[in-house]
Amino acid sequence: LMAGAFTTLPALAAKPLVIGFSQVGAESEWRTANTVSIKAAAKQAGVTLKFADAQQRQENQVKAIRSFIAQKVDVIAFSPVVESGWDTVLREAKAAKIPVILTDRDVNVADKSLYVTLIGSDFVEEGRKAGRWLVDYAKKQPGKTLNIVELQGTVGSAPAIDRKAGFDEVIKGNPQLKVLRTQTGEFTRAKGKEVMEAFLKAHGRSINVLFAHNDDMAIGAIQAIEEAGLKPGKDIAIVSIDGVRGAFEAMIAGKLNVSVECSPLLGPQLMQAAKDVVAGKPIAKRIVTEERVFPAEIAAKEFPNRKY
Ligand code: GYE
């Protein structure tokens, strides 16, 4: 009896926290850095991480969440590929008394008690920052109309919806700025290149600006612009979002004009929030990441400091 009591207590204390995490996929440099951050932070925090890659499909995320519920993990975390369609599966998690933490992207649910917190960026503000850079760029060319093409992120995803809204809000009513075309490039290089090729075919040299919802699509588009015999960053000014290594390289090469930072390094905050929720501590409903804007002029100086 004594021996039994003696061994039970330390074993309980040492039980590691188990988090089930459903990742969107591996569509961009941002996403890869986000996955690395979450895995490294789990290891560092002594958390057992069950990691599932949804390959950009909501149905795979729903399956993963159901499997985490069946496995009785302590916390479910996920980065929802799109905003809508989560009510049912989140109600199942709630019924099983498993707290849910959102990372990176928001969901659109009527009942906000279905998740504990959202850890991530303010995408509307990122879109505004991109728009503000463009307004300043236009001011340097008074009287000139700038024709814009826009590469949107994944249709229905929070960053695509919000970045577009923030950008539109800032450029709206500016007589110099005109959006010619807007289409999804699905946050990938391949699709960014393909859609930019179509834009160039339709509008050629009348395109003055590209706004890409992420760096990867901008990098794909840079290839398309070069193949069309134009100079990215000069003939067509390019504004994008994320601030990944590839964007810094493109800025240093003079092919990208500015990248608005969106930090993927959410791992440590996720581990902290998971520990706090299990310990019954109060948590803010929204945890916003701090971010900057990097114009090409400071890219070389900032490059050595970049962590993703
Ligand atoms: O900007 C993009 C990625 O949700 C903030 O998803 C994230 C976005 C990021 O594919 O590169």
What tokens were used for 10? 């330390």
**Protein residue whose Cα sits closest to atom 8 of ligand 1:** 159
Spatial distance between the Cα atoms of 241 and 160, rounded to a whole number of angstroms:
11
- Identify which of 129, 132, 146, 145 has the alpha carbon closest to the alpha carbon of residue 236: 146
CA of 98 to the centre of ligand 1 (A): 26
Spatial contact of 290 and 260, defined as CB atoms under 8 Å apart: no
Regions of the chain where pLDDT drops below 50: 1, 3-4
Q: How far is the CA of 138 from the centre of ligand 1 (A)?
A: 27
Query: Ligand 1: which atom is nearest the Cα of residue 121?
Result: 5
Alpha-carbon separation of residue 160 from 77, 94, 196 (angstroms): 21, 28, 17
Q: In this predicted model, what pLDDT tens digit does every residue of 14-39 receive, in sequence order? A: 689 999 999 999 999 999 999 999 99
Q: State the distance from the centre of ligand 1 to the C-alpha of 159, rounded, in angstroms.
A: 7
Distance 57 CA to ligand 1 centre (A): 15
Find out whether the beta carbon of 31 lies less than 6 Å from any atom of ligand 1: yes
Residue bearing tokens 């699509």:
217
Contacts 24+ apart (CB under 8 A), 131-135: 131/166, 131/167, 131/168, 131/169, 131/170, 131/171, 132/170, 133/239, 133/257, 133/258, 133/260, 133/293, 133/295, 134/170, 134/171, 134/177, 134/209, 134/211, 134/237, 134/239, 135/170, 135/171, 135/174, 135/177
| 112 closest CA partner among 102, 104, 120 | 102
- pLDDT tens-digit series, residues 258-277: 999 999 999 999 999 999 99
Pocket test for ligand 1, best of 22, 61, 214, 240 (most atoms within 8 A of CB): 214
pLDDT of residue 15: 86
Per the CB < 8 A criterion, the answer to whether 19 and 274 are in contact is yes
Q: What pLDDT sits at residue 13?
A: 59
Cα of 30 vs centre of ligand 1, distance in Å, is 6
- 0.80 exceeded by the pTM? yes
Give the pLDDT score at 1. Answer: 46
CA distance 108 to 201: 37
